[in-house]
Amino acid sequence: MRTLGIAIDVNVEAGDWAGEDALQAIARQSVDAATARLGLREAQSELSVVFTDDASMQRLNAEWRGKDKPTNVLSFPAFALEPGDPPGPMLGDIVIAYETVAREAALEDKAFDDHLRHLVVHGFLHLLGYDHENDMDADEMETAERAILADMGVSDPYSAHD
């Protein structure tokens, strides 16, 4: 019997990632913090988090977004949601690229694991219908990210950019 909550399937596809147990723990902590903050504790759903490298991410980004370069995180929602909608039985996939995460963390003088937590939260919010295509939506998404990360003891990822 399945309990309430978001089931997370972690897959290490490529890249110099830590062990799968460590990645599962970071994904679990990040998703649990988000569901608690957003009032989704009773949600029963599934998502996949794929940890890969820049080469794989570049191929995905070119195919799905028409941008022939790697990026840090991509989200592939199973269903279109609006912020505040309850998730269905399947949320979708989050894909994260190791080299880009490591490069950004070093460049921004952030702990790698904290930056990874931010990207899991960011990708998870995209699966829940959040976006940053305009200033109003970006403010809503960043406010949610800041609160969720603060709940985990992670400093504001946007403070250096303000």
**pLDDT given at position 96:** 98
Sequence-distant (≥ 6) Cβ neighbours of residue 33 within 8 angstroms: 121, 148, 149, 151, 152
92, pLDDT greater than 90: yes
Report the C-alpha gap between 133 and 62 in whole angstroms: 19
The tens digit of pLDDT for each residue in 44-88 reads: 899 999 999 999 999 999 999 999 999 999 999 999 999 988 888
Query: Percent of the chain, pLDDT > 90?
Result: 81
Integer Rg of the chain from CA: 15
The tens digit of pLDDT for each residue in 140-150 reads: 999 999 999 99
- Let me know the angle formed at the C-alpha of 54 by 52 and 60, rounded to the nearest 5 degrees: 80
162, pLDDT greater than 50: no
Report the C-alpha gap between 145 and 121 in whole angstroms: 7
**pLDDT given at position 159:** 84
State the pLDDT confidence band at 160, using cuts at 50, 70 and 90. low
Exposure string for 29-52, b = 16+ CB within 10 A, e = fewer = bbbbbbbebbebeebebbbbbbbb
**pLDDT given at position 3:** 45
Residues in the chain: 162
Average pLDDT over residues 104-113: 95
**pLDDT given at position 133:** 85
Report the C-alpha gap between 62 and 18 in whole angstroms: 26
CA distances (Å), origin 107, targets 40, 54, 111, 127:
34, 17, 11, 27
**pLDDT given at position 33:** 95
118, pLDDT greater than 80: yes
Superfamily (CATH H level) for 5-155: Metalloproteases ("zincins"), catalytic domain (3.40.390.30)
Average pLDDT over residues 22-41: 94
Amino acid letter for position 52:
T
Per-domain residue ranges of the chain: 5-155
Structure tokens at 132: 């940053």
Nearest to 156 by CA among 127, 121, 124: 121
